[in-house]
Amino acid sequence: MPYPDRNAYPDPFYAVVDTVDWVARLAKLGVGTIQLRAKDLNDAEALQIVTDALAAVQGTQAKVVVNDYWRAAIVAGAKHLHLGQEDLLDADLNAIREAGLTFGISTHDDAELETALAAQPDYIALGPIFFTTLKSMRFEPQGIPKITEWKKRIGSIPLVAIGGIKFEHAAEIFAAGADSIAVVSDVTQNADPDARVRQWLGYRKEAA
């Protein structure tokens, strides 16, 4: 199977981080899609961090994807949003669309997939593919075969695989049908994060 289109959104390598410093660092390395996932912020804090993240990528090719804080994303002028299933309950999709924001939605089971598809998102995320310790999950690891099943069900909508994925899994996950791989700990907890990012980006360039 050919490597996914490197010009598509989200990029095949999709980094997920929790601080503006990480956003700036990855943007300078050439990462194209960076999700800012900072939890438990009030409205003012959310607006500040989103504004700072957008400023941090100025002059780079990076696209900032705001996790959860859709109101802050609209006010700050962000272009991309990611919603979990809980976030989706609170979100005003009409306001999000009117602001010109793309949005992706997390899914973990059949019911969540149906909910996500009804919202007509720009991409669907499936996770966790493997076991992850980064956050408490009420869902067991999905496994790679689930990627193929989900992709058949969602058709042309981009599919993002997330959860415990390392660079060494990339070829198998793309071959299973994922259009993008969201990566957290393989970068942020790596002994040499910059080298790991270059490895991901280098794989993309060589295989595209």
C-alpha angle 160-169-134 in degrees, rounded to nearest 5: 65
Provide CB contacts within 8 A for 22, sequence distance 6+: 34, 188
Q: What is the mean pLDDT of residues 179-200?
A: 97
Q: How confident is the model at residue 7 (pLDDT cuts 50, 70, 90)?
A: low
Percentage of the chain surpassing pLDDT 90?
88
Whole-number Å distance between alpha carbons of 126 and 30: 25
Amino acid at 112: E
Whole-structure pTM value: 0.94
Confidence of residue 114 (pLDDT cuts 50, 70, 90): very high
Q: pLDDT of 8-42, one tens digit each?
A: 899 999 999 999 999 999 999 999 999 999 999 99
Long-range contacts of 136-140 (CB under 8 A, 24+ apart): 137/108, 137/163, 139/108, 139/109
Nearest to 125 by CA among 81, 169, 95, 187: 81
Query: Distance between the two ends of the chain, CA-based, in angstroms?
Result: 11
Upstream peptide bond of 4 is cis (omega within 30 degrees of 0): no
At 152, the amino acid letter reads K
- 192: how many CB neighbours lie within 10 A of its CB? 9
pLDDT in tens, 62-82: 999 999 999 999 999 999 999
Long-range pairs of 184-193 with CB within 8 A, sequence gap ≥ 24: 184/15, 184/16, 184/17, 184/132, 184/134, 185/132, 185/133, 185/134, 187/15, 187/17, 187/26, 188/17, 188/22, 193/25
Check if the beta carbon of residue 158 is closer than 8 Å to that of residue 174. no
Domains and CATH numbers, the chain: 13-207 (3.20.20.70)
Phi, psi (5° rounding) for residue 4? Answer: -55, 155
Separation CA 31–CA 144 (nearest Å): 24
- % of residues, the chain, pLDDT over 70: 91
Per the listing, tokens 């794989």 go with 203
